[in-house]
Amino acid sequence: MILSILIIIVCALLVLVVLVQNSKGGGIQSQFGAATQIMGVKRGTEFIEKATWGLVIVLIAFCVFGAPKSSTGGASTSSSEITTKIKEKTANAPSIPTSQPAGGNNQPQMPTNQMPK
Walk along the chain (117 residues) in steps of 10 and give the mean pLDDT of each run. Answer: 91 92 61 53 79 94 83 59 79 65 58 61
Cα gap 100→91, rounded to integer Å? 21
Residues with Cβ within 8 Å of 65's Cβ and at least 6 positions away in sequence, in order, are 3
In a 10 Å sphere around its CB, with 0-12 CB exposed, 13-18 middle and 19+ buried, how is residue 86 labelled?
exposed
Question: Any idea where the domains of the chain sit in the sequence?
Answer: 39-69
pTM over 0.85: no
pLDDT number for residue 96: 65
